[in-house]
Amino acid sequence: MGDDIGRELEVEVGKIAHGGISVARHEGRVIFVNDAIPGERVVARVSDDRKKRFWRADTVRVIEASEHRREHVWGAASVDRDPAERAGGAEFGHIELAHQRELKAQVLMEALDRTGGIDADTLADALGADRLTIEGLPGEPDGTGWRTRVRLNVDEQGRLGPYAARSHRVIPVNDLPLATPEVQAAAPLGERFAGEPHVDVLAPSVGSARLIIGKQARSTITERVGEREFALADSGFWQVHRHAASTLTAAVQQAVDPAQFDPASANLDLYGGVGLLAAALGDRFGTGLRITSVESDAIATDYAAENLAEWVGARAVTSRVEAFLRQLAAGSAPERARLESATVVLDPPRAGAGLDVVDALASLRPAQLVYVACDPVAFARDAGALRERGYRLASLRSFDLFPNTHHVEAVASLVRE
């Protein structure tokens, strides 16, 4: 293999696939094409031919453009550049924003069907509609100006920039259009940082923008969601879109069925971070809430304990979720019984919760689950596994937390039947 690397093919672009790539065919072989839009005819340059069944390729010229194609919002990522010199992180920036959301909806619905085995009637009931709509957040009409956190990598000359797509090649840039104005102003794009691995630029909602250079000592920042403030490490995880935390707070609150909710039960917030979603339940259901936030990062757990201190029944535990659930499963009958009336919120990483966690949750039989998902295929896999174990998809909403990228967020409720 390797003889076809660099070969240019003229192809008709078919449907969108998971990962922001489009599917084409050439002489019977599947070609996964970057920077194209379904319905286009493009010239694509082969970048990976190691697999017999499919190749990967990058669009280098558009012959017949989609009506939804626009000038890329970030010149550094444009198809006008050689693929090796294109900045990563804005792979949908050449597509009109409304059509981006249509493509994301297609990917999520197909995943739920093919991977999750969730039939059209069930999905329609959960959506309250025949089709999924990706909900936009407040912001610029072209999907720019939303990132409150940006990591800039450092090349051998000390220059800053994002990696090229699917690469560790640093692309020096002179602008960051997806970032908020505060991050753009603070980013030291023209400076040199030789010897450092990266520079993080962040603009919390409270206080001024700041840089984290390499592995410098962490400090505490404050993020505000509505009237509530959350303390966290400046190097810790927080939702990237400036409106994401408030959007997910409201969506999780709405996803919980109050008829199935028992504030005195052994409610759980899994992959809880610094307590954002546990606090969302607390703000909806009051000071009598009993909830345990579980997070593997000890630093985040310490902040969660502080952020949830006003709820006497709240606690924060440092543990891997799988280990924590196994411990619950080994508990006494009365302890397990308290879980059967519980609500569980889970916000796993991109890989999803996985079969071990799904099995453990199903064995504990909580009344309802609220699943916050950032990967459609991983979510569909877990939703399908929960369906097989007696949980019905009761509601589903999806949000465009990452405009001009292929990423999409979903918030689903699943109830025990």
Look-up of token digits 């196994």: 326
The per-residue b/e assignment along 380-401, b for 16 or more CB within 10 angstroms, e otherwise, is: bbbbbbbbeeebebbbbbbbbb
Beta bridge partners of 316: 293
Cβ neighbourhood burial of 26 (10 Å; 0-12, 13-18, 19+): middle
Q: How far apart, in whole angstroms, are the C-alpha atoms of residue 358 and residue 364? A: 10
Backbone dihedral region of 205: left (phi > 0), alpha (psi from -120 to 50 degrees) or beta?
A: alpha
Tell whether 295 is in a known binding site: yes
Both tokens of 245, joined, read 């935390």
380 belongs to the catalytic site: no
Tell whether 239 is in a known binding site: yes
Q: Which of 202, 278, 374, 412 is catalytic?
A: 374
Element (H, E) at 32: strand 29-34
**Sign of the CA dihedral 183, 185, 186, 189?**
positive
Tell whether 254 is in a known binding site: no
**Residue 142: what residue type?**
D
Give me the phi and psi of 163, to 5 degrees please: -75, 155
Q: How far apart, in whole angstroms, are the C-alpha atoms of residue 83 and residue 8? A: 13
Active-site amino acid positions: 374
Residues at the binding site are 239, 271, 295, 347
Q: Which residues are annotated as a binding site for S-adenosyl-L-methionine?
A: 239, 271, 295, 347
